[in-house]
Amino acid sequence: MAFLQVEEIEKRFGRTEVLKGVDFTLEKGEVLAIIGSSGSGKTTLLRCLNFLETPDRGRIVLNGDVLFDASERKKASESDIRRKRLHFGLVFQQFNLFPQYSVRKNITLAVELLNKKLPAQERKSREDIAALGSELLKRVGLGEKMDSYPCELSGGQQQRVAIARALALGPDVLCFDEPTSALDPELTGEVLRVIRELKSSDRTMIVVTHEMEFARGVADKVIFMADGVIEEQGTPQEVFGSPRSEKAKAFLANILK
Amino acid sequence: MSFVDVTLQLLQGFEVTLKLFALTLVFALPLGLVIAFGSMSRWRPLRYLIRTFVWVIRGVPLMLQLFLVFYVPGMVFDAHIFAPTSEGRFTAAVVAFVINYACYFSEIYRGGIEGIPRGQYEAGQVLGMTKREIFFKVVLMQVVKRIIPPMSNEVITLVKDTALARVISVIEIIKVAEQLMSKAIIWPLFYAGLFYLVFVGALTLLFGFIERKLDYYRG
Ligand SMILES: Nc1ncnc2c1ncn2[C@@H]1O[C@H](COP(=O)(O)OP(=O)(O)OP(=O)(O)O)[C@@H](O)[C@H]1O
Ligand SMILES: [Mg+2]
């Protein structure tokens, strides 16, 4: 059984069907790149995985655990959802850092809050949490920016902080929604490099992106979405090299031009 | 009547002014937040009820509301909730001011809260925070920063609005000056203005200080 199974996810907003049965699996440590034109439902899919939207149909199974099942009658409680969404992390297109906190605090805030809820003997010390913050910041190449505020950083630096923040909770699956789309072209490289370096055997990642070079170079698997369905999926060689669907061919021809 | 006598009398009036001002803030600031949440409620009947209430309170002169609070309960229930003593009048004034200003504050809070981008809430949610944590740890500080300028305006208006309490015979500073005027001395009225001016100056400095304190970040 695959590590992550996303089964027949459907989502509509009012009368617009945005996801019309999205189905894929991912193995642990794999990187999935999702490509597709604007409005095809990529963001909505990531939001469903992160419980920011509730799918109308379908199931999400992680590591054998059913995290979401639309056919279940009982609505999951707030705290249930909170626990489940910790399996996933999300890096937003617009970073969404907390402006009033220093970079370090941005990264450790959620850890501190969760830590408080643990029984006393399992709690991490303040120093451990601070050390985790420093380590993550070094990992994204911002060790010296610990005490800066988000408004003092460039877009690329802010996005790297956002990545460190998402990593702090140790999610099983880390999702990125067009992490470089809000950046000036000269800043995309540093962010993509960080994401590339995160690739490891136990970190599963889903990256929605328009950076085809990146998708081709880093992804183990590529999904092309159009109008709320997966039009094409496979290895980068398959999807980029010999796409079968007409829509995928047209999209790639257009974007690689 | 000597300058010192007038000063002492005006000071007594100004004490009432300051009390009314302070009590209004103490009660209206939190009540305004409650009203703000009501006016943003997802339950429509409550939302409409609260918004209508706010509209009425903001749409009718405060002076009428003072009369209403002080006189109408007595006319309806045939008993004075607010005794026609100086304490009763003062309490009625506090009640009217609190209701009125809570409504104004609620709109400021609402503007501040609604101005926080959705992404801030979602970032908190994705990080496993509870609704409470998101409000208190993520949103609140940003709201405070946003509402300081409109709040400072409103608070300064309140300082001067307290003079309206004289219509139900609360003996605040302007009322004192008016009483002196009836003895044919007019300058105390302008002298009273100086008290307001100094106090508002102090408040302006205070708000400026708070704004600078919160100036360490943008956004
Ligand atoms: N909350 C919502 N309410 C109504 N419609 C929505 C909502 N969110 C998304 N949609 C619609 O769903 C469709 C898919 O949106 P989505 O953001 O998932 O696309 P996308 O593939 O991420 O596009 P892009 O590349 O532009 O980011 C769009 O037509 C959008 O208008
Ligand atoms: Mg999108």
DSSP string of A36-60?
E-TTSSHHHHHHHHTTSS--SEEEE
CA atoms within 13 A on the CB side of A20: 13
The DSSP bridge partners found for residue A9 are A22
Closest CA to B54 of B70, B73, B34, B74: B34
Task: Using a CB–CB cutoff of 8 Å, tell me whether B186 touches chain A.
Answer: no
Residue A78, chain B, CB below 8 Å: the answer is yes
Report the b/e string of A215-240 with b at 16+ CB within 10 A.
bbebbbbbbbbbebbbbbbbebeebb
- Residue B103: Cβ-neighbour burial (10 angstroms; 0-12, 13-18, 19+): buried
**CA dihedral of A79, A84, A85, A89, whole degrees rounded to 10:** 140
The pLDDT assigned to B78 comes to 67
Domains and CATH numbers, chain B: 3-216 (1.10.3720.10)
Q: Is the ipTM of this complex over 0.85?
A: yes
Find how far residue B193's CA is from the centre of its chain: 20
What pLDDT was estimated at residue A156? 94
Cross-chain residue pair B127–A52, CB shorter than 8 Å: no
CB B216 within 8 A of CB A149: yes
Please give the residue range of the domain that contains residue A142. 4-255
A78 contacts on B by Cβ (under 8 Å):
130-131
pLDDT 10s digits, B177-196: 999 988 878 899 999 999 99
- Enumerate residues 6+ apart whose C-beta is below 8 A from B37: none
| Per-residue exposure over B171-180, b if at least 16 CB sit within 10 Å of its own CB, e if not | bbbbbbbbeb
Per-residue pLDDT of B69-83, as tens digits, reads 998 887 777 666 787
* pLDDT attached to residue A185: 87
Tens digit of pLDDT for each residue in B13-44? 999 999 999 999 999 999 999 999 999 999 99
What does DSSP say about strands A31-36 and A229-234: parallel, antiparallel, or unpaired?
A: unpaired
pLDDT of the residue at A206:
97
Centre a 10 Å sphere on the Cβ of residue B68 and count the other Cβ atoms it contains.
14
Positions in chain A short of pLDDT 50: none
Amino acid at A210: H
Tens digits of per-residue pLDDT, B113-163?
999 999 999 999 999 999 999 999 999 999 999 999 999 999 999 999 999
- Give the other-Cβ count within 10 Å of B30's Cβ: 12
Cα B31 to ligand 1 centroid, rounded to whole Å:
38
Q: Give the pLDDT confidence score for residue A77 in this predicted structure.
A: 87
Whether residue B103 has pLDDT greater than 90: yes
CB A35 within 8 A of CB A210: yes
Residue of A17, A42, A47, A251 to mutate, ligand 1, most atoms within 8 A of C-beta: A42
Q: Which residue has the tokens 């099983």?
A: A172
Question: What is the tens place of the pLDDT at every residue in A205-235?
Answer: 999 999 999 999 999 999 999 999 999 999 9
For chain A, the domain total comes to 1
Pairing of β A173-177 and β A221-226: unpaired
Q: What phi, psi does B112 have (nearest 5°)?
A: -65, -45
Q: How many residues does chain A have?
A: 257
Kindly report the CATH number assigned to the domain that includes residue A138.
3.40.50.300
Class of residue B101 by CB neighbours under 10 A (exposed 0-12, middle 13-18, buried 19+): buried
Question: In angstroms, what is the span from residue A174 Cα to ligand 2's centroid?
Answer: 16
Establish how many alpha carbons lie within 13 A of residue B161's alpha carbon, considering only the half-sphere containing its beta carbon: 23
Minimal-distance CA residue of chain B relative to A94:
B119
Please identify which residue in the block is written with the tokens 């061919």: A249
Ligand 1 centroid to residue B124 C-alpha, Å: 21
- Which residues on neighbouring strands pair with residue A13, listed in sequence order? A16
Output the six-digit token pair for A1: 């059984």
| A99 contact B CB<8A | yes
CA B83 vs. chain centroid, Å, equals: 23
- pLDDT score of B217 more than 90: no
